[in-house]
């Protein structure tokens, strides 16, 4: 799989049909979290309403309600007239109430269960990537790991952390795994920035991401899977610790 195909697979998953339940909320979370992850870039124009509604499998009425909610959150701006449309607006930091509400919505047991699911997805993706992906196709993963190693803002670190795991799933050349990883990131959102604010942990995570990439490049699928799982479990354990302080 070429590098542009890996990047395209991650973005394509953002615009796949949403769950039938609570569709307005699902669209808001899907697009909002894709923006916070950096899968959609600042200033990028979203597809037109008819096209985007069709991609997400919702009505235009549902989409317009979702876009209104995203505008209220400062994640999307709308311009009228010629050259108008809906455009991505990446916040410098995630809204404090958005993060707090997200974390308070999880019990420690649910966070641990989420961590198990996340570790299983990322571990499987790393093992498959090691079996299917050529070394020269890992440029985007390396770039994301390097950006994380040098990122100064916690919000940026959180976006890069989540993006790495989505790109890892795309490198596994599995559309289903990629969609599952994007959906999981929609649940997790920007929460990792709560633990990645610590510089020492950020460096530790960046080193682990690089180790995953090295194992994938070497075709060491068992090692790659174990490293990816360990990275997720450590981050989840730290999120549980933060949740206990609330």
Compute CA distances 179 → 3, 34, 105, 175, 239, whole Å: 18, 12, 23, 6, 23
What is the pLDDT, as a whole number, of residue 130? Answer: 96
What is the pLDDT, as a whole number, of residue 61? Answer: 92
End-to-end CA distance of the chain: 44
What is the pLDDT, as a whole number, of residue 221? Answer: 95
What is the pLDDT, as a whole number, of residue 189? Answer: 74
What is the pLDDT, as a whole number, of residue 94? Answer: 57
Average the pLDDT over 50-57 and give the result: 91
Q: What are phi and psi of 190, to 5 degrees?
A: -95, 10
Looking at per-residue pLDDT, the higher value among 20 and 85 belongs to: 85
Looking at per-residue pLDDT, the higher value among 64 and 37 belongs to: 64
Tens of pLDDT along 195-222?
898 999 999 999 999 999 999 999 999 9
Q: Is the pLDDT of residue 95 over 60?
A: no
> How much is the mean pLDDT over the chain?
87
- The segment with the largest mean pLDDT, out of 122-126, 182-186, 239-243, is 122-126
Closest residue by Cα to residue 34 from 21, 58, 52: 52
What is the pLDDT, as a whole number, of residue 60? Answer: 92
Average the pLDDT over 61-84 and give the result: 88
Q: Is the pLDDT of residue 2 over 80?
A: no
Looking at per-residue pLDDT, the higher value among 133 and 168 belongs to: 168
What is the pLDDT, as a whole number, of residue 93? Answer: 57
Instruction: Kindly indicate the confidence band of residue 16, based on its pLDDT and cuts at 50, 70 and 90.
Output: confident
CA distance 76 to 67: 7
Cα 171–174–176 angle (5° rounding)?
A: 130
What is the pLDDT, as a whole number, of residue 98? Answer: 66
């Amino acid at each position: 799989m070429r590098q542009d195909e890996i990047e395209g697979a991650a973005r394509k998953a953002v615009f796949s049909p949403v769950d039938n339940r609570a569709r307005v909320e699902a669209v808001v979370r899907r697009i909002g979290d894709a923006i916070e992850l950096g899968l959609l870039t600042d200033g990028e124009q979203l597809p037109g309403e008819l096209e985007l509604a069709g991609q997400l499998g919702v009505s235009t009425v549902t989409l317009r309600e979702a876009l209104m909610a995203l505008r209220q959150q400062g994640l999307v701006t709308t311009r009228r007239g010629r050259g108008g449309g809906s455009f991505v607006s990446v916040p410098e930091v995630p809204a404090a109430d958005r993060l707090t509400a997200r974390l308070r919505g999880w019990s420690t047991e649910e966070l641990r269960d989420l961590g198990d699911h996340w570790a299983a997805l990322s571990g499987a993706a790393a093992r498959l990537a090691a079996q299917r992906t050529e070394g020269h196709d890992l440029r985007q993963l390396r770039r994301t790991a390097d950006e994380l190693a040098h990122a100064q803002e916690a919000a940026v670190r959180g976006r890069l952390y989540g993006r790495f795991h989505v790109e890892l799933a795309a490198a596994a050349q599995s559309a289903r795994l990629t969609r599952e990883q994007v959906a999981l990131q929609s649940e997790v959102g920007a929460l990792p920035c709560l633990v990645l604010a610590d510089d020492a942990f950020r460096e530790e995570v960046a080193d682990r991401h690089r180790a995953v990439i090295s194992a994938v490049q070497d075709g060491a699928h068992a090692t790659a899977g174990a490293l990816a799982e360990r990275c997720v479990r450590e981050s989840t354990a730290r999120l549980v610790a933060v949740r206990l302080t609330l």
